[in-house]
Amino acid sequence: MKLKLILFALVTLGLLSYGLYMALVVAPTEATMGDVQRIFYYHVPSAWTAFLCFLINALASIWYLVKRTERSDAIAVSSAEVGVVFCTIVLLTGPIWARPVWGIWWTWDARLTSTLVLWLIYVAYLMLRRFSASGRAPVIAAALAVFGFFDVPFVYLSIRIFRTQHPQPVIAGGEGSGLDPTMAKAFLWNMIAFTVYGLLVMWLRYRLELAERSVEEAHAEKSMQEGA
C-alpha cells in the first residue's frame, strides 16, 4: 500500500511539474491579455477538479442514503473537503485574474455568484459534519449534498444561459471558440495533472477518515470496557 502511494505521489508530482512548465514556458503568450492569461491553466483545471469532487460526493451520498455504508460516508466527507479546497482556489485565482483584465476584483454575475454559492453549500456541509452532535448528521448532510450538487451544472451552464462579465466558454463554446494547439496541449496536461492530484489527495483524506473512525471506535470500546 505504501509503495503504491509513493508511486502515485511521484507520478502526480511529475504531471504537475510538467504541467507548470507547459503553462509558464511552452504555452504562447495570449495576444490580448498577455501573461496574466496563464492563470487559465490553473483556474479552469481547479474548477473541473472541484466539480469532479462534488460529483463523487453526490454519488457517495446517494449510495450512503440507500445502503448506509461507512465507506460511502467516508468517501462523501473526503471528496467534499477536497472539493472545497479546489473551489477555494477557483474563488481566489478568479478575482486575481479579473482585476487586471476587467478592472474589478469581483462582480455579482451568474457565474461568479453561483460559484460562491457552491462553495458555501459545501462549507455548510462540512460544518454540519464537524459540529453537529446529532447522530442523524450523516443522513442530513448526505441529503444536503444531493441537493447541493444541482448547483454544479448551474455553475457550468451559467455562462451559456446568462449574459455574464465572465467570458463565454473557450472549449466547446460554439463558433469562434477554441484554443491555439499549444495552449490546448498545456491546458489538457494541467487538466490531467490536477485531476490526478485531486484523486491522490482524496485518497489520502479517505484513508485518514477511516483511520480516525477506527480510533474513535477503539476509544468508545475502551470506555465501555472500563465502565463495565
Partner 1 sequence: MIKYMWAAYIVTWVVHLGYLGYLTARTGRVRREVEELKND
Interface with partner 1 (CB under 8 A): 20, 24, 33-36, 38-39, 42-43, 46, 85, 88-89, 92-93, 96-97, 99-100, 197, 201, 204-205, 208, 211-212, 215, 218-219, 222
- CA nearest neighbour of 142 among 66, 227, 40, 47: 66
CB within 8 Å of 184: residues ≥ 6 apart: 178
* Residue (65 or 210) nearer to partner 1, CB: 210
* Residue (161 or 223) nearer to partner 1, CB: 223
| 2-21 helix and 181-227 helix, angle to the nearest 10 degrees | 150
CA 31 to chain centre: 30
- State the nearest-atom distance from the C-beta of 163 to partner 1, in Å: 25
* Residue (99 or 160) nearer to partner 1, CB: 99
CB within 8 Å of 177: residues ≥ 6 apart: 168, 169, 170, 171
- State the nearest-atom distance from the C-beta of 207 to partner 1, in Å: 8
CB within 8 Å of 119: residues ≥ 6 apart: 84, 87, 88, 91
- State the nearest-atom distance from the C-beta of 169 to partner 1, in Å: 20
- State the nearest-atom distance from the C-beta of 215 to partner 1, in Å: 5
44 in Cβ contact with 192 (< 8 Å): no
- State the nearest-atom distance from the C-beta of 209 to partner 1, in Å: 10
* Residue (5 or 66) nearer to partner 1, CB: 5
Rounded to 5°, angle at Cα 66 from 61 and 70: 60
* Residue (7 or 218) nearer to partner 1, CB: 218
